[in-house]
Structure 1
Amino acid sequence: MPSTLPDGDPVPRDGALPPSALDGLGGRPFGFYVHVPFCVTRCGYCDFNTYTATELRGASRDSYADTAIAEIRMARRVLGDVDLPVETVFVGGGTPTLLSAADLGRVLDAIGKDFGLAEGAEVTTESNPETVDPAYLAELREAGFTRMSFGMQSAREHVLAVLDRTHTPGRPQQCVSWAREAGFEHVNLDLIYGTPGESDADWQASLDAAMAARPDHISAYALIVEDGTRLATRVRRGELAAPDDDAMADRYLAAERTLGAHGLGWYEISNWAASEEARCRHNLLYWTGGDWWGVGPGAHSHVGGTRWWNVKHPAAYAARLAEEASAAYAREVLEAADRRFERIMLEVRLADGCPLGLFDDVAAVRRAVGDGLLVPEAFEAGRAVLTLRGRLLADAVVRDLT
């Protein structure tokens, strides 16, 4: 089952934010994340806040769009009448495309009506490849979605089986083609490396298959065995081997070589894009300190240094909003030191790096340059930018520098 929510401070029934959060609102990029928590089955590695049909306990997939729209309207009341055009919308899950394209379109339309979409706004939805077809994708494009993200994970059947993925090899690539035909200019494929039983050849086959589909964006993530998942249980019992760090590093290097050879450059440690326009602007909003409202059970939000998270279960979420009460479970107001640490932690993962002025100990940054972890030329220009070796050791680099 999904992990528990963190503790925090109470949230007023009407969801009102502290004045510090509203200070400067509208001067920072603003986006919406919409969480759709439904799945047909739960993948063995997943600890996201998702629910299968037997776990809904009275919550309804059919009425979910209306409940999400109710939260969007609450967001407008909480944030007041400040001009706040939405630059990015990202619908994630779960499996968003278990909802009808019409329902997803209604949610997007509500955001547009209550807030307004900025010119050229990026609107993404994730999708399990088995849940869409050409007609569905055409309807999404007509509704205003501009970007698709398909969960491919691997091209090898035995790897997909370990992950409990239900799509067949080849289906994600077909979906990329259908999305192009529907008019989507930007299409991402998600990949996972380091699955128990995956060989170097398996990973290379997945990279080659993904590139043959010609997406303009790839997200490639190292498998993390999360506590409480079916995969963690199998590893603990010795049924499966734990991911190997050296193998993970080799797979990352293979991804860098293959994706680079096909014209995709890294812009964040786990993300590669064919151009600046192909980068995921919604994720960049997260990574560069923007504001966003998270709609849906368990969704997290951040506005002006205040972060909050919604109740987890869809039934509890729907009940709160039916009473015109905030769906928030708890919140925290970040101190300046916390915001600075998070900025370093996120921005150092970007190809643009982060300003040296954020670091208290510039001598430590200089040592990292000498150790081959940061780019010397960037350091001389006043920024901390990871080398390829630094990307492999990014978590340790951040710990040493903060």
Structure 2
Amino acid sequence: MPGQLPDGDAVPADGALPDGTALTGRGFGVYVHVPFCASRCGYCDFNTYTAAELGGGASRDQYADTVLAELALARRIVNPPRVDTVFFGGGTPTLLDPDDLGRILEAIDRTWGLAGDAEVTTEANPESVTPESLRRLRKAGFTRISLGMQSAALGVLAVLDRKHTPGRARAAAREAREAGFDHVNLDLIYGTPGESVDDFAASLAAAVGAGVDHVSAYALIVEDGTRLATRMRRGELPYPSDDVAADRYLAAEAALGAAGFSWYEVSNWATSEAARCRHNLLYWTGGDWWGLGPGAHSHVGGVRWWNVKHPSAYASRLADGHSPGHAREVLTATDRHVEDVMLRLRLSSGLPLSALDAAGREAAAHAVKDGLLEERDDRLVLTLRGRLLADAVVRDLLP
């Protein structure tokens, strides 16, 4: 089940931002959270709900209208020059009718205006799309799709409680290309209990063979409160191994590199600069975004806030004409510096050496000597070994 929201300062009923808040000028995106899933995967603690978990408290059929109500509130609060990226995440956005997704996208365009080259992404489970639904999504203005493949091994999919067959993700990727999507991503998870070297090699080969231009690969994280965590606590499954995860990462880098993919963020590879996920890059480089939907997070000019989690509470707040914001925080200069170092160092473009204080530069010199970082044109870039230890490298660079 979804975890708890953090505490913070109260959000005013009208959602107004603190006086003096201004856009950063680093781009503006919109995230749309769709909190519905046909079933819950054993590893998932995202803010998503099956029909049984929702009960009668929220309606999938009315969800688009509820999001539009938040968008109307947002229009009174922030006025970006344009929307550079839109990302529909979840949950499973493609459980909504393509017309509803298109209606939300059209309203975003009416409200703030989509840039002429705006990237518009939806996440999807492979079994939640068809050639017809993909054509309708493309016609509605979606340019990119991210498919939750996770693995091509039947046993691994079973441990993760995934419902699609091993070959469905590859077929869905092909159908998306045929529908005219400019960019297609496949998500992989590695380090699942029982996954063999051959299982992951087959997953990488299937992803490459699907003809996609982007692959994301993440180590399995076991979250408290999930079915997977319960099974491990009972001793039914072993806990993931850090050594195995490192070996899998090296296998991903080798296989994807050989197929013409280059890393641009620690967990993301693309065949070209154009294939990189611009929406995620906006997050990683300190841009602004408005998150629509229950539990969605937003950031504008150093102010970060998050909505109430449950779809019923979210709909009720908006029906009363109130902001659905649960709480917010104003980031200090130190907060922003920490996040800037933490996120930019994960990128292949690296972190400017000038972003560090004297102690940080001294720590960076040690990391270069240890083979974790390399210096390129006064920027610090993680080496392959450094990518395996990225969190530790970041900790050493910060006060």
TM-score interval for Structure 1 and Structure 2 normalised by the shorter chain: over 0.9
Check whether the contact 1:194–1:244 (CA below 8 A) recurs between aligned residues: yes
Counterpart position of 2:10: 10
Q: 1:389 is aligned with what amino acid?
A: R
Superposed counterparts of 1:41-190, under 5 Å:
41-57=39-55, 58-79=57-78, 82-190=79-187
Q: Residue 36 of structure 1 aligns to which amino acid in structure 2?
A: V
How far apart are residue 28 of structure 1 and its match? 2.7
Judge conservation of contact 1:306–1:332 (CA < 8 Å) in 2.
yes
Report the Cα offset of residue 349 of structure 1. Answer: 0.2
In the alignment, is residue 388 of structure 1 matched against residue 384 of structure 2?
A: yes
The answer to whether 1:244 aligns with 2:269 is no
1:31 aligns with 2:53: no
Shift in Å at residue 138 of structure 1?
0.3
Deviations 1:59-103 (A, max 9, x none): 000000000111111111111xx4521000000000000000000
Instruction: List per-residue Cα deviations over 1:244-264 (Å, max 9, x = no partner).
Output: 111100100000000011101
CA contact (8 A) 2:94 2:124 kept: yes
Aligned residues: 395
AA aligned to 1:62 is D
Shift of 1:384: 1.2
Cα distance in 2 between the residues matched to 1:20 and 1:353: 31
Q: Does 1:398 align with 2:394?
A: yes
Native 8 Å contact 1:26 1:83 kept in 2? no
Query: Which residue among 194, 198, 202 is the counterpart of 2:199?
Result: 202
- Structure 2 distance, partners of 1:161, 1:192, is 13
State, as a whole percentage, how many aligned pairs show the same letter: 69
2:250 counterpart letter in structure 1: L
On the 8 A contact 1:20/1:304 being kept in 2, the answer is: no
Letter in 2 for 1:245: D
The structural deviation recorded for 1:27 is 2.4
TM-score, scaled relative to structure 1: 0.97
Q: Which runs of 4+ in 1 moved over 6 A?
A: none
Instruction: Specify which of 324, 327, 335 is matched with residue 327 of structure 1.
Output: 324
Correspondence for 2:19: 19
Matched letter for residue 4 of structure 1: Q
The residue correspondences of 1:224-243 to structure 2 (distance < 5 A) are 224-243=221-240
SS at match of 1:33: strand
Secondary structure (helix, strand or coil) at the match of 2:299 reads strand
Unaligned runs of 5+ in 1: none
Q: For residues 257-316 of structure 1, what are the alpha-carbon distances to aligned partners after superposition, in whole Å with 9 as ceiling and x for unaligned?
A: 000111010000000000000000000000000000000000000000000000000000
Distance 2:24 2:5 in 1: 29
Q: Distance in 2 between matches of 1:228 and 1:352?
A: 36
- 2:346 pairs, out of 338, 349, 352, with 349
SS class of match (2:77): helix
- Whole-angstrom CA distance in 2 between matches of 1:387 and 1:352: 12
Partner Cα separation in structure 1 for residue 276 and residue 209 of structure 2: 19
Task: Check the 8 A contact 2:26/2:288 in 1, yes or no.
Answer: yes
Do the aligned residues in 1 keep the contact of 2:119 with 2:279 (CA within 8 Å)?
yes
* Within-5 A mapping of 1:263-302: 263-302=260-299
SS at match of 1:384: strand
For 1:302, what is the secondary structure of its paired residue?
A: strand
Shift of 1:357: 1.5
Question: C-alpha separation between the residues in 1 aligned to 2:185 and 2:80?
Answer: 31
Task: Tell me, in whole angstroms, the C-alpha distance in 1 between the residues paired with 2:109 and 2:326.
Answer: 26
Code of the residue aligned with 1:232 in structure 2: it is: A
Question: 1:52: how far off?
Answer: 0.6
CA contact (8 A) 1:90 1:282 kept: yes
What's the secondary structure of 2:20's corresponding residue? helix
**Which has the larger displacement, 283-292 or 381-390?**
381-390
Separation in 1, partners of 2:290, 2:10: 18
Q: Distance in 2 between matches of 1:266 and 1:341?
A: 23
TM-score (norm 2): 0.98
